[in-house]
Amino acid sequence: MANVIRRQTPAAKLWRGVLYAVLVIAALFYVLPLVVMLMTSIKPLSEISAGTLLSLPQNPTLAPWTKAWGEACTGMRCEGVGGYFWNSFAIVIPAVLISTAVGALNGYALTKWRFKGSELVFALMLFGCFIPFQVVLLPMAQTLGWLGLSSSRAGLILVHVVFGIAFTTLFFRNFYVGIPNELVSAAKLDGAGFFRIFWRILLPVSAPIIVVSVIWQFTQIWNDFLFGVAFSAHDTQPVTVALNNLVNTSTGVREYNVDMAAAMIAALPTLVVYVLAGKYFVRGLTAGSVKG
């Protein structure tokens, strides 16, 4: 679309100016909350209660950040949210890897090895996207109990994998649909089997959609609170639970600057992922995943 012929008349230049203006105003809309969060997180508490949200910090300080990282109370432990990062990674990384792998194989099987009813199977699996987690909380708790996985890290990973498969399958299926079937048919005729074709032909070109799937799953699982709080034990709580304990104390004194700093710290991994990999994200989506 960007290669179309353009004419640079004065009218066109004016439109160009308007274009940039609109984009910048939109950018302000998106950036404003982040700016507010940052500013609040470096103000001392006295300034927050005295001024409005959007007033500039008079005496900026990084104390809220150090407190949020290492000293704030999240229960009896007053060690900040930093320590919980390990718990979150221990849950997120396996869950992302497993759900992506399963989604890839599913998408491959659904599109390159069609059988009667494969579309129906896909549609049935897709409904897994729409279940609100509150609805499945209790039955899942009971199931985990039966499996002997209650309050364990493995149980929580299982939960995230189960509810992530619908999405990863959707992404990979839409992507593989755009890959010509001739490649696969030729390989089949050559005698290559199911896994060989996947490994040799499809996986090498799947990098873009793998990125999409990983980013999506990483964000969803990292930011999850409900499953994280219900299915973790006292020593496996993810960072979202720690953040909640920090921010939502019921009858204690609230330190909004520390809260904002902690929220930003908790959001850093996903933010970093989006900022660094955003380009690959769009590239991944471009490479056929949205064409149907």
Partner 1 sequence: MSETPTRTALRPTASGRLQAWLPRLVLAPSVAVSLFFVYGFMLWTFVLSLTSSRMLPSYDFVGFGQYARLMANERWWVASTNLMIFGTLFIVICLVLGALLAMLLDQKIRQEGALRTVYLYPMALSFIVTGVVWKWLLNPQLGIQAMVRSWGFESFEFDWIVDPDMAVYTLVIAAVWQASGFVMALFLAGLRGIDDSIIKAAQLDGASLPRIYWRVVMPCLRPVVFSAVMILAHIAIKSFDLVVALTGGGPGYATDLPATFMYTHAFNRAQIGLGSASAMLMLGGVLAILIPYLYSELRSRKHG
Partner 2 sequence: MRIPLPVFKKSALALALAAGTALASTAQANEVEVLHWWTSGGEARAANVLKELLEAEGYGWQDFAVAGGGGETAMTVLKSRAMSGNPPSAAQIKGPEIQEWGELGLLGDLNEVADAEGWNDLLPEIVADIMRYDGQYVAVPANVHRVNWLWANPDVLEAAGVEMPTTLDELFAAGEAIREAGFVPLAHGGQSWQDATVFESVVLGSQGTEFYQQALVELDPEALGGEQMVAALEDFKRLRELMDEGMPGRDWNIATAMVIEGVAGFQLMGDWAKGEFTAAGLTAGEDYLCAAAPGTEDAFTFNIDSLAMFRVTDDAEREAQHTLARLVLEPTFQEAFNLAKGSIPARPDLDMSEFDSCAQQSMADFQSTADEGGLVPSMAHGMAVRADVQGAIFDVVTNYFNDADMPAEEAAQRLVSAAEAASF
The residues of the shown chain that bind partner 2, judged by CB under 8 A, are 49, 72-78, 137-138, 141-142, 144-145, 150-151, 229-231, 233-235, 241, 244-254
Q: Which stretch binds partner 1 (CB under 8 A): 56-64, 82-90, 199-207, 222-230?
A: 222-230
223, 229, 249, 280: residue in contact with partner 1 (rule CB under 8 A): 223
Supply the minimum distance, in Å, between the C-beta of residue 244 and partner 2: 6
Among partner 2, partner 1, none, the one that 131 touches (CB under a kind-dependent 5 to 8 A) is: partner 1
Residue nearer to partner 2 on the CB measure, 127 or 146: 146
Residue nearer to partner 2 on the CB measure, 55 or 142: 142
247 binds partner 1 (CB under 8 A): yes
Amino acid at 284: G
101 binds partner 1 (CB under 8 A): no
Supply the minimum distance, in Å, between the C-beta of residue 60 and partner 1: 19
162 binds partner 1 (CB under 8 A): yes
246 binds partner 1 (CB under 8 A): no
Identify the CA nearest to 248 among candidates 272, 229, 233.
Answer: 229
Residues numbered 15 to 74 that lie near partner 1 (CB under 8 A) are 19-20, 22-23, 26-27, 29-34, 36-37, 40, 52-54
Which value, in Å, is the radius of gyration of the alpha carbons in the chain? 24
The whole-angstrom separation of Cα 270 and Cα 157 is 18
How many Cβ atoms are within 10 Å of 8's Cβ, its own excluded?
8
Judged on CB neighbours under 10 Å (0-12, 13-18, 19+), 210 is buried
Among partner 2, partner 1, none, the one that 262 touches (CB under a kind-dependent 5 to 8 A) is: none
Distances (CA, A) of 255 to 54, 84, 232, 283: 17, 20, 26, 41
102, 149, 154, 183: residue in contact with partner 1 (rule CB under 8 A): 102
C-alpha angle with apex 216: 213 to 222, nearest 5 degrees? 125
Helix, strand, or coil (residue 255): coil
The whole-angstrom separation of Cα 200 and Cα 96 is 23
25, 59, 76, 115: residue in contact with partner 1 (rule CB under 8 A): 115
Please say whether the beta carbons of 6 and 12 come within 8 A: yes
